[in-house]
Structure 1
């Protein structure tokens, strides 16, 4: 609906009708439209994490490559969120995923002195999401694997 309407023009009643849920459901599970968008992004992150190799610790290049694959799969949604000024939800979702992977020792901690430093996760999430958005906007000329290697090299996290 955000592709065709400003968020402020979408009523809860119309949103619920389009989604096939009751208004009671909406008010019970969400506090705002931003909550809905965040929950959708979290569901995408869960899907992303399920696509990671199930071999224990993964490399940062693999982690970034899978993120770019997710971005390509959800291209229209991600570009719509950027268009309406909600790119922060993409950044926050990436932060959540990265923090989970680090906390659970699921990703190689290249340069462990950076991980855990104040603002590191925010810096990384902003950089990766910004690169993904530009990549999507310019037609995805590189493969997700190439983009994964670019990010790893740019932020000095190569294994």
Structure 2
């Protein structure tokens, strides 16, 4: 196993341990010792790589998003609805952790991760710009999109995911006039 694979494996283990613990207790009552023991990693690993539990969540979300980006269609630019369809599928695949993070008040960590990804896609010209929407150049647009997407995604998850990820992707594209 490569060092990068080992690093990813440890990150996944500590994130999953954190989610498991957050499902049964308040985040502020989780100790570093308890977390690292449950994850099967050393306290040194924790202190070398993280300062807060939010750092674990952020790192895991970025790993998930990198994997997500690799699953996107690789032919040219993406429509916003396609991007959203894949995002909603990712959310559905991670429903337990997403809802746990919401209940723990950690949606801002999800929003920051989404902003980073969205800005990357825009900067690398991987999204098709809508002729109807010139707002994408506004410095607050990524924050607005992230809040809208994350809040809609979390509401959808809590409501039981009755609609398909494709339907939700199209709905968001319509809401945001990015069709």
TM-score between the two structures when normalised by the length of structure 1: 0.96
**Separation (CA, whole Å) in 1 of partners of 2:147 and 2:28:** 26
5 Å-filtered alignment, 1:30-69, equals 30-69=50-89
- 1:27 alignment partner, one of 38, 44, 47: 47
5 Å-filtered alignment, 1:96-107, equals 96-107=116-127
**Deviation at 1:113?**
2.0
The total of aligned residue pairs comes to 158
- 1:127 alignment partner, one of 148, 158, 170: 148
Runs of 4+ in 1 over 3 A off after TM superposition: none
- 1:80 alignment partner, one of 81, 92, 100: 100
Relative contact order, higher structure (CA 8 A, sep 6+) = 1
Judge which range, 33-42 or 107-116, deviates more: 107-116
**Separation (CA, whole Å) in 2 of partners of 1:116 and 1:76:** 34
The answer to whether the aligner puts 1:70 opposite 2:117 as a matched pair is no
Gaps of 5+ in 2: 1-20
**Separation (CA, whole Å) in 2 of partners of 1:27 and 1:56:** 41
Gaps of 5+ in 1: none
Judge which range, 137-146 or 109-118, deviates more: 109-118
Tell me the SS of whatever aligns to 1:108: coil
CA RMSD, Structure 1 to Structure 2 (Å)? 1.0
